[in-house]
Amino acid sequence: MRSRSPLSLVPAIALVLVACGSSGLGTVPSVTSSPSPAVSPAPTPAPSDHGSPLPSPTGALAEPSVPSPVADLPYDPAKFGFAAKGLRGEVMAFVTTSQVDDALARLDFGSVSTIVFFSLEASGDGAIRKDGRWRIWTSVATGELIARAHAAGTKVVISLARFSWSPAQTATSTTLLSTTAARARIAREVADEVVRRGVDGVNVDFEPIPRGQKAAFTDVVRRIRRELDARGPGYQLTFDVVGHFESYDVGPALWPGGADAVYLMGYHYAGTFSTIAHGTAPLGGDRYSVGDAIRLLRKVARPEQLIVGVPYYGHLWPTKSGALNARTTGRGYDVTYEKARLVARVHPTSYDPAEEVRRVAWQERSCSSCPLHWVQLYFDDPRSLTAKWTEFRRQKLLGTGIWTSAFEGPSGELTAALRDAWMVDR
């Protein structure tokens, strides 16, 4: 997702958010109510900012032996079935462990080509953790989700997560990546689980990659590819990258014998860490943007190897004024689209055409005798998402992804925009 860490999920994913604990936000509190900080940091700092002293590797890893890139190849219809569903590109919808019931009740299977179950976690010894996420993955409800998806021609893949946003997480990730036996074990276990559960592949969400482990991560991706291929043809394999993806060796991980596509987590470019209020997924503008990340990725990946995720959430801050991109005076919190649209019904909105994002600014009081102070909320709506999807299609990218469909709520507005953008018959 991912870090898909927004909404206390992280992914993510990722917000694509990093330690996923809940399905989203509850009621939207006043910004003066001391909201809890997001559980993971932004995906945009340099990878070295997240690293901790790395233990000596217990399994030596040579530079990966990979073939040179080959001429452009079309997507594999056995792995990406969007065309058979009448879609113009791949549409991946992330469903967290706490959102399975919501997906069964409200997900539009017709507009989604792949559902990503988020997530199973890789441990330091290469085993899949048998924790609460595992119990949901093996539950009757998830089995029903898989059956419903397959009946609609929609694929289901496992998101294999391993986060490195804290020193403790980084140490565990390094133990896994630096040990040959652990890398081999996680590749076998996740491929075995794909076959056992009857699903269609793997999405690898390691974020970020610890210092010195680029080649090891590429080796994990390529080992998973070999294990999947040994079990049968047509299994889908993707891996996620955060906005600043310098810790990944994207090119070699996509060469023949590697992943089919890379998923750019096109969100969490703003959040609790921001000193300026702006969009969490800016398409353009003066700050580092999703558009910048796409341009850089296209130097090492072909357009048809690139999937760009979008957020169904935004971020709210207390600010010094009501001006566009005003300075923030607090960390604020993430807000799902379901909540953001309700806020926008009460307060006037505007649109930032540079970043392609909806903005709401208003004044409120912390108490009846307190002075007024400014609050601003930036979020993606049907207009801003349509602008992103139009650009992705213009660049002939493989497709898009959603973090997460459950954040839309019952309105159906974002689903309608998604169908308009990606359904062939629209």
**Residue-wise pLDDT tens digits, 310-369:** 999 999 999 999 999 999 999 999 999 999 999 999 999 999 999 999 999 999 988 888
Q: Is residue 353 part of a domain?
A: no
Q: Where are the beta strands (DSSP E) in 148-292?
A: 155-163, 201-207, 236-241, 261-264
Count CA atoms closer than 13 A to 200's CA, side-chain side: 24
Q: Are strands 201-207 and 313-319 parallel, antiparallel or unpaired?
A: unpaired
Provide the pLDDT for residue 335.
98
Per DSSP, the three-state class of 93 is strand
Query: Cβ atoms within 10 A of the Cβ of 77, count?
Result: 11
Q: Is residue 283 part of a domain?
A: yes
State the pLDDT confidence band at 47, using cuts at 50, 70 and 90. Answer: very low
Answer yes or no: is pLDDT of 72 > 60.
no
State the pLDDT confidence band at 75, using cuts at 50, 70 and 90. Answer: confident
Domain of 244?
Answer: 6-45+74-312+381-422
Per DSSP, the three-state class of 217 is helix
CA–CA gap between residue 267 and residue 393 (Å, rounded): 18
Q: Is residue 205 part of a domain?
A: yes
Helix or strand holding residue 207 (H, E) = strand 201-207
CA distance to 42, 264, 355, 366, per residue, from 281 (Å): 12, 11, 8, 29
Closest CA to 407 of 99, 100, 166: 99
Answer yes or no: is pLDDT of 55 > 80.
no
Provide the pLDDT for residue 426.
67
Q: Is residue 257 part of a domain?
A: yes
- Give 238's DSSP letter: E
Answer yes or no: is pLDDT of 292 > 60.
yes
**Residue-wise pLDDT tens digits, 88-127:** 999 999 999 999 999 999 999 999 999 999 999 999 999 9
Q: Is residue 369 part of a domain?
A: no
CA–CA gap between residue 80 and residue 324 (Å, rounded): 40
Answer yes or no: is pLDDT of 61 > 50.
no
Spatial contact of 308 and 240, defined as CB atoms under 8 Å apart: no
CA–CA gap between residue 74 and residue 260 (Å, rounded): 11
The mean per-residue pLDDT over the stretch 134-149 comes to 98
Closest CA to 14 of 28, 29, 27, 2: 2
The residues, ordered by sequence, that sit 6+ positions from 127 with a Cβ below 8 Å of its Cβ are: 185, 186, 189
Q: Is residue 293 part of a domain?
A: yes
For residue 200, what are its two tokens?
């269609």
Tokens 């960390």 map to which residue? 331
Answer yes or no: is pLDDT of 180 > 70.
yes
Strand partners, 335: 314
Provide the pLDDT for residue 45.
30
Answer yes or no: is pLDDT of 67 > 80.
no
The mean per-residue pLDDT over the stretch 240-258 comes to 97
Helix and strand element counts for the chain (H, E): 11, 13
Q: Is residue 184 part of a domain?
A: yes
Provide the pLDDT for residue 78.
87
For residue 332, what are its two tokens?
């604020």
Per DSSP, the three-state class of 336 is strand
Q: Is residue 320 part of a domain?
A: no
Q: Over the chain, what is the mean pLDDT? A: 86
Provide the pLDDT for residue 74.
59
State the pLDDT confidence band at 28, using cuts at 50, 70 and 90. Answer: very low
CA–CA gap between residue 108 and residue 128 (Å, rounded): 30
Provide the pLDDT for residue 64.
38
Answer yes or no: is pLDDT of 57 > 80.
no
Count CA atoms closer than 13 A to 186's CA, side-chain side: 32
Higher pLDDT, 152 or 77: 152
Query: Cα-Cα-Cα-Cα dihedral of 126, 234, 238, 135, to 10°?
Result: -50
Provide the pLDDT for residue 22.
32
CATH classification at residue 241: 3.20.20.80
Q: Report the domain count for the chain.
A: 1
